[in-house]
Structure formats: C-alpha cells, structure tokens
Amino acid sequence: MKTIIIGGVAGGASAAARLRRLNENDEIIILERGNYISFANCGLPYFIGGEITDRNMLTLQTPESLRKRFNIDVRIESEAVKISPETHTVTVRNINTNEEYEEVFDKLILSPGAESIRPDIKGVELPHVFTLRNIPDTMKIKSFIDNNKPSKAVVVGGGYIGVEMAENLANAGLEVSIVELADHLIASLDADMAADVHRYIRSKRIKLFLNNAVTAISDNKVILQNGSIEADMVIMSVGIRPETSLAKECGIILNSRGSIIVNSHMQTNYPDIYAVGDAVEAKEYITGSPAFIPLAGPANKQGRIAADNIAGIPSEYNGTQGSAILKLFDMTIATTGLNEKRAAAEGIEYDKTYTYSASHASYYPNASNMSVKVLWDKKNHNLLGAQIVGFDGVDKRMDVLATAIRFGAKVTDLKELELCYAPPFGSAKDPVNMAGFVAENVINDTVKQFYWHDVEKLPRDGSVALLDVRTKTEITRGMIDGFINIPLDTLRDNLYKIPADKPVYVHCHSGLRSYIACRILRGNGYDCYNLAGGWRLYESVINDRTVPEYICTECK
C-alpha cells in the first residue's frame, strides 16, 4: 500500500505516524511545499512575546526525525500542483527547481490546512502589515520588532490568535490596540462573559476598538470606520479560510465556504482520497450541523481516523465540540459546546445559569473566583455548552464540563460528579458541582431567575418590589436604580417593608445570597425572582457597554 499525504502539521503528520504504527511495510510519502513538516502553530505568539526563547522548540518533528523514527519519505519544498483521481496520481513541483514529476498512490490524504485572510483594503500589502499562520510568518514579525523597534501595534481581529498576539506584543514592550468588528472579543464567548475579559485587558493597557472596522492602512496609521490609530506595525488576524483550490480543481466536493466535504471516515467523494484538519467541513458534535471549527485537537484525531480506515480499522469521527482555552496574561478563558448565539440559531430552547465560585477552598491562601456560565436544553436538560473566565483552575473545570458534554450528560448530572478535593486544589462543592446545584434549583422551580438584560425593563412604578440584599459596605460601590437595600441577615426582621402582593426581584453580589433571600421570601408567601450572576455580572456588562472603545479607563 502506498499512501501520499499532502500537507503536514497536525492532521497530516498524525496520519503518517499512525499509518506507520499500523503497518511497518506501507510506503508513506508526505509532500510539504514549505520547509516545516510539523510545528507548534499554537505556540507561535509566545515566541514573538519572548515566553518561548528557543526557535527550535517550535519544531515538533523534522523531516529527518520522521524518517528515522517512522521510515516516512518526507519531501519538503515539494508542492502538489495537480491530483488525478482517475489515474491515482499526484503531480509534484520542486519549489527550488520548478521541475515536475508524478507520483502514483493507492490512498491519498489531503491536509492542506487553511490560510490567513487578508481583507481587500488599501495598505494591507505594506511591509509593516503581517499575518501569523506559520514559522516564516513568525520570523518575519520577530525580525521586524528586533530590527525596526516599533512602539505601537494594532491587532485587527479579536479572536484567539488576535488576543494572544496582543498579549505577546505588549510583553515585547509595544503599545497595543485591538480592532474588532463585533461588540466583543472571542466569538465563542457570549458578550456578557466577555465583559470581564474587556475590563481585564484594558487594565493591561491594551486599548479596544469594538464595533469598528479597518478601512485603510497607511505607513503610520490604521484608519477605522470611526477614528484612526497610530501604528508602526499591524497584525491582521481577521480569520482563516480553507486552502482547498487543489481539491476543487480535481473534482472533490466542497461546501459554500470552500471546505472539503467528508464522511465520518474522513473520505471525500472519491473513496481513495481522504481529507483532514482545517480544510474539511466538520460536524458540530452537539447539533450535528455542518461547521468550520479549526482546532489542533480535532485535526490530530481526524488524521488518526483517516489512517485507521486506510489500514482497515473501521473508525469514525463523531464531530467537533469546539473546546478551546486561552491564556491572557494571568487570566484564563475557556469555552466548550454551544454559546447562546449558536443555540438560538439552531432553534434550541435553552436555559442558562451563572455561578461565581472559588478556585479552591476560600480559607486556603490565594483562592480566586471564576465566572461560570452553563447552557442546557430545556426539554431534556442535556448540557449544551459552558464558558468560564477566571485566573486559577479554569482549565480543569472546563475539561470536566467538556467531558460531560461528550458523554451526553444532563446539567443536573454535574451535581453528582465526585471530583478531587483538598484545600489547595478545590472545594468540597466544586465549581462544577455548584453549576449543577444551581441548574437543578432552576429546573425544579426552587428558584426563579431573571437576567442582567431584564433589569432595565423592570417597572419602577411600584408594581413590583426591587430588593438589594448586599451589605451596607457593598452598596457604596453602586446600586441599581430603583432597588432598595435590606441586607440578607436583616431580611426576616424587615419583611414588613416588602409588599406581599407584588413580585419581588432580588439581587446580591453573585446570586448566592439573593437565592437564600428568595427562599426566605418564598417561605413567607412571596413571589420571588433571583438575578442570575448578581450585581457583579450586571455591573460588568453595563460598565463594559458604556465605556467608549477608545478609552482605557484603567490606564489613567
């Protein structure tokens, strides 16, 4: 059996190594038009910022290491220019000599990846404008910083790579701004969870220009729809698109976005041609809908699955869940599954809860709270998605939630999980358990919720009672208009101040004490609603929406 793999990195290199492990005698060829066959593209921003100092650490495998360990014929600077499915041949061009030759294959795996999008705007080809996708891109950026000593950088696009680049450019000593077309950074987050991210990134002296777009770039400025920013260098991070022109030319079926359509075995419409990685259309795990979710983990799994099927081992890819995590200075942001926008687009009737829990036992030093949001299906209570923003322990909680989704857990199952506990590592009631407890209370009608986006719509004409149960010290930080303050610990003695014949809307700092208040009120015959996420979430979102994008309030 002879298998040719076009493209390396995550999917192609994984497929090659798996094929060799399954069959010592197969002929395996990797064609890579660049110089690097397997590199840590997720680590590229950290080399620019100085967190990774050894360039060689970015190279996971070299042609030599793959040859020695796996007996794989790796041909760098070799571009596949034509695929002929009928004759099972690939035409290959040597980048250095321009000579072409043909290779016959029994099986073919396409792993061409994706390319950075360069929007059609004036100035995008200027020498101080960069994209980041591979090691040569990284070296160009690093060389520009070292040689030109820029002082101001603009990152266009606030996704994962854009935010990571903003952090690392700031670490490299530059004054950084981010321009984002949407109203918040990191599309997999909902806007309410992104509010904490915005506040924190501004505190790190990075300016945000949200709800804005770049219209042109000059030698020293980035021109926006609203305003302009001085810039000595620009990083374009507005997204990627599948690099599938070769596949299209040979008749492989693509979707409207240009992604290769494959079945669960990673086969294209030609049974002997497989495709993996960022170039393929994935199936969203929860909904089964087609999706474009370019992540390293799924690409590696797809490479393994394609290799299994070629080797005669039935194997299927069941979908991409979209689990992802981001380091932002000391903050951690993680998501999995569906957010509200995606759930609504799928027509799913969902509910949600917010919790604010300590990373470990609060009495043990250095505990920090994390904001946790979970979504579930109202009909069957299946967990749909989760988002966490915090500083410690975020990764392990999100991994638990991602695993729960993968195994079809209901949100109420979270309360049953027996997770490791010792004061330095967690709490007896882990943040994951707490999300389950709160969701169960909502589902069982033990508590009724209202949300930050409902607050301004509440009548202030006396037809409802509005109650703030925080302490007298807490309310000095601010109060929501129309709410009266009765601290929780004095509530029973002051019930006479609250009309018994009107609905009561209650909040505290995080939603926990106001839940207790609602139980007291319900026990005394009141109709009570608890503000999900409390004052903390409400204030974060409202403050974020009233801060002009071009002002770094925490930098004053």
Catalytic residues: 42
What is the 8-class DSSP label of residue 87? T
Tokens of 5: 């793999």
Q: What is the largest CA-CA distance in the chain?
A: 90
Q: What is the DSSP string of 376-411?
A: EETTT-BEEEEEEEESSSHHHHHHHHHHHHHTT-BG
Q: Which helix (H) or strand (E) holds 2?
A: strand 2-6
Nearest partner of 135 among 261, 254, 35, judged by Cα: 35
Token reading at 499: 């009309």
Quote the crossing angle between the two packed helices 63-70 and 9-22, to the nearest 10°: 20
Pairwise CA distance, residues 181 & 172, whole Å: 25
Burial class (CB in 10 A: 0-12, 13-18, 19+), 461: exposed
Residue 72: Cβ-neighbour burial (10 angstroms; 0-12, 13-18, 19+): buried
Instruction: Give the DSSP H/E element, type plus range, for residue 355.
Output: strand 350-358
Give 367's DSSP letter. -
State which amino acid sits at residue 87: T
